[in-house]
Amino acid sequence: MEKKNLTINLKIWQQSDSESKGKHESFAVKDINPDMSFLEMLDVLNEDLIKNDQIPLEFDNDCREGICGMCGVIINGTAHGPKSGTTTCEVRMREFKDGSTIVIEPWRAKAFPVLKDLVVDRGAMDRIMSKGGYITVRTGGAPEAKSILVPKENADEAMDMAACIGCGACIAACPNASAALFVGAKVSQFALLPQGQPEANRRVERMVGQMDEEQFGACSNHGECEAVCPKEISITSIARMRREYWKAIAS
């Protein structure tokens, strides 16, 4: 059976820059294939705007394969939209009914100033990573993989934590705009492995310190971060970050 193309009504946040006052603007896009991605639908909108000599909408995107973490908007009040475990670029228009209204907004957080329309400055996350989200210890030549024994459960969990793509959905969804899930994942991916131990104390102290300096909110265990994370990072990472932090300041 042939799928019926959709007509979608949009209410989109538009803001010319960080200093300007933004507001919702209404648009309608027609003849949308249900198999289109959400970003392809926005492409159609922009093509229509350009044809009518209007300024196109600004939104972040890159790989459009759920890998890079560049995309991300609030869709009807939910970060990345209605489908769990996906990024905005992976949401398909078949998730919405013909004639429905979709409200689209940028990530909302004090640490994420709006640059234009749906684009926000997520540089705060990069600055946190620069404080220790890596390993610098000199190991010489690469050892044989089997020479450093790592329990399989630790290796598996470290890989799960390393899956974080830094999109910022956890922060946008949190009522406190906390970056605890993001920082917890980045601390955990090294805390679980022997290669991350030499710098463990310095890493967690500096990353948590930078998180606070960027004025992200405190975690109060709402769990919204885990619910919207496209890589389904567990909030156990937050507990591990806290343990690592208290170990570091007590040592």
Q: How far apart are CA 79 and CA 72, in angstroms?
A: 7
How far is it, in rounded angstroms, from Cα 143 to Cα 228? 38
Q: Tokens at residue 200, please?
A: 């463990």
Summarised one tens digit per residue, pLDDT across range 210-231 is 999 999 999 999 999 999 999 9
For residue 8 the two structure tokens come to: 């979608």
Q: Are 245 and 205 in contact (CB under 8 A)?
A: yes
pLDDT for 140 = 67
Q: How high is the pLDDT of residue 3?
A: 77
| Structural tokens at position 1 | 């059976």
Q: Are 133 and 157 in contact (CB under 8 A)?
A: no
Domain ranges of the chain: 6-116, 123-250
Of 86, 77, 74, the residue nearest 117 (C-alpha): 74
Q: Is the dihedral of CA 45, 43, 11, 93 positive or negative?
A: positive
- Of 83, 29, 35, nearest to 56 by C-alpha is 29
Q: What is the dihedral of CA 52, 58, 59, 61, to 10 degrees?
A: 90
pLDDT at 188: 97
- State how far Cα 206 lies from the chain centre: 21
CATH superfamily placement of domain 123-250: Alpha-helical ferredoxin (1.10.1060.10)
Q: Using alpha carbons, select from 83, 76, 73 the residue that is nearest to residue 8.
A: 76
Q: Which residues pair with 98 in a beta bridge?
A: none
pLDDT attached to residue 195: 86
Q: Could you give the CA distance from residue 41 to residue 5 in angstroms, rounded to a whole number? A: 12
* CATH number 1.10.10.10 is the correct assignment for the domain at 6-116: no
CA distances from 221 to 46, 188, 226, 227 (A): 39, 18, 10, 12
The residue ranges of the chain whose pLDDT is under 70 are: 1-2, 137-140, 142-143, 145
> Do 93 and 36 contact (CB within 8 A), yes or no?
yes
Whole-angstrom distance, CA of residue 204 vs CA of residue 243: 10
| Alpha carbons 94 and 99: distance in angstroms, whole number | 12
Question: What are residue 91's phi and psi, to 5 degrees?
Answer: -75, 135
- Whether pTM > 0.85 for this model: the answer is yes
> Do residues 29 and 134 lie in contact, with contact meaning Cβ atoms separated by under 8 Å?
no
